[in-house]
Amino acid sequence: MLTKVLEATPNDVEVLIDLAQLLEGVDPHKSLILYENACDLIKTSEDGLQIDPPAAILNNIGALHMTLKNYERAKEYFEAAEAKLQEDLEGDLCDSKLSSYVITMRYNLARCLEHLCLFEDAEVLYKGILREQENYTDCYLRLGCLARDRGQIYESSVWFKEAMSVTVV
State in words which class domain 2-122 has: mainly alpha
pLDDT tens for 120-167 read 999 999 999 999 999 999 999 999 999 999 999 999 999 999 999 988
Cβ–Cβ under 8 Å, residues 113 and 126: no
pTM equals 0.87
pLDDT tens for 24-80 read 999 999 999 999 999 998 888 666 677 889 999 999 999 999 999 999 999 999 999
Give the other-Cβ count within 10 Å of 72's Cβ.
Answer: 10
Alpha helices by DSSP H, 24-152: 28-43, 55-67, 71-90, 96-115, 119-132, 137-149
Q: Kindly report the backbone phi and psi dihedral angles of residue 92, in degrees, each rounded to the nearest multiple of 5, phi listed first.
A: -75, -10
Instruction: Kindly give, in sequence order, each residue whose CB lies less than 8 Å from that of residue 2, ignoring residues fewer than 6 positions away.
Output: 15, 18, 19, 22
